[in-house]
A and B are shown apart, each in its own frame.
Chain A
């Protein structure tokens, strides 16, 4: 009988909705077996829950669908987002942006004087920059480029062969 007072309505609702955890579920089920008062409360909530489940949805007027379709017909037809955004436009914008950036960078580097002069001290970056531009540095860059190129080619060929296999299976 004591359990009746320990179990709140909130716990009972969770039990009815099936959202209580296993421990709570077992505790309530056990309490329901032993308390008549709790059973009454439970049945009352269950009846309320059943009534709510049986409630009918409201119906709009008969002309509702027609009115919606009339308004829809004057709107622009929707299209899937991927159709709406043409990937070629994105690539063109990207290419234009990259070319402009490269152009600005090339122009800036070609017209810059890397030397900094001051009355206190002089920094000559021109000579130090050229010092690193030797044959071995170029080879390292070239090797890295070739490695990246080979990795890219490998990925591309793998994708193509996977696609071929998929098409063959279909």
Chain B
């Protein structure tokens, strides 16, 4: 609740002419916005472009924001639409060969840590790789459900579906993600997950 109040206070400050207050809003939401954009573009540079575009669009339309709604839901709707438009423009195939190549790149793991930590880090990096292999719709849905603290209804507002459809889509996305993980880890997946 505190978060919502503060967002609203910042929005009011921006509308009153204090543009710098928008910088705080950007700082607060940039990680999620960028991650969501990355789920669509699968490329950091393009994700930054989409995220930046979304923040600028949100700034321009800030006057139309209804104060009884959650700023995050409104902002993520803008990101979702912007990313979709970006994908349509680029006609990006989300399961191109590049994705497979990326899947083969295993990031360097730090040394000197205890085995459990390394194993856990590996799990998360494999999980990230598996998410990258999913379609934009599936990976964005998983990200929104696990990282945005939005309810199923609010996610439904963003993606333009009802809560029950979101529930079904989420189940399918998680099933596909589990399959990708098993594909990456092979026999080890059963022990690691």
Report A-chain residues with C-beta under 8 Å of the C-beta of B61: 78
Residue of A nearest to B22 (CB): A72
The dominant DSSP class at the A interface is: helix
Among A27-35, A63-71, A92-100, A111-119, the stretch that binds chain B is A63-71
Report A-chain residues with C-beta under 8 Å of the C-beta of B123: 51
Give the contact-size bracket for chain B. 35 or more
Report B-chain residues with C-beta under 8 Å of the C-beta of A108: none
Give me the 6 closest cross-chain CB pairs, A-B, nearest first.
Answer: A78-B62, A57-B31, A60-B34, A58-B35, A78-B63, A57-B35
A58-B35, A78-B15 known; 9 new pairs, CB 8 Å cut-off, are A9-B171, A52-B146, A54-B124, A55-B127, A60-B34, A68-B52, A68-B55, A69-B19, A71-B52
Q: Is the CB of A14 within 8 A of B167?
A: yes
In A71-90, the 8 Å CB interface with B consists of: 71-73, 75-81, 83-84
The residue that B56 contacts in the complex, of A19, A57, A61, A75, with Cβ under 8 A, is A75
The residue that B34 contacts in the complex, of A13, A59, A72, with Cβ under 8 A, is A59
Q: Is the CB of A77 within 8 A of B19?
A: yes
Report A-chain residues with C-beta under 8 Å of the C-beta of B64: 81
Q: Is the CB of A13 within 8 A of B171?
A: yes
In B144-168, the 8 Å CB interface with A consists of: 146-147, 152, 167-168
The residue that A78 contacts in the complex, of B34, B38, B59, B167, with Cβ under 8 A, is B59
How far apart are A64's CB and chain B's nearest CB, in angstroms? 6
Bound together, the chains give a CA A56 to CA B19 distance in angstroms of 30
Give B contacts to A, CB under 8 Å: 14-15, 17, 19-20, 22-23, 26-27, 30-32, 34-35, 38, 44, 47-48, 51-52, 55-56, 59-64, 123-124, 127-128, 131, 142, 146-147, 152, 167-168, 170-171, 174-175, 178, 181, 193
- A48 at interface by CB-CB < 8 Å: yes
Give A contacts to B, CB under 8 Å: 9-10, 13-14, 17, 19, 44, 47-48, 51-61, 64-65, 67-69, 71-73, 75-81, 83-84
How far apart are B32's CB and chain A's nearest CB, in angstroms? 6
Q: List 19 A-B contacts (CB under 8 A).
A: A14-B167, A47-B193, A48-B181, A57-B32, A57-B35, A57-B147, A58-B31, A58-B34, A60-B48, A65-B26, A65-B27, A69-B20, A71-B52, A75-B60, A77-B19, A78-B14, A78-B59, A79-B63, A84-B63
Bound together, the chains give a CA A51 to CA B167 distance in angstroms of 19
How far apart are A168's CB and chain B's nearest CB, in angstroms? 27
Bound together, the chains give a CA A75 to CA B61 distance in angstroms of 11
Residue of B nearest to A60 (CB): B34
Residue of B nearest to A58 (CB): B35
Residue of B nearest to A47 (CB): B193
Report B-chain residues with C-beta under 8 Å of the C-beta of A69: 19-20, 22-23, 26
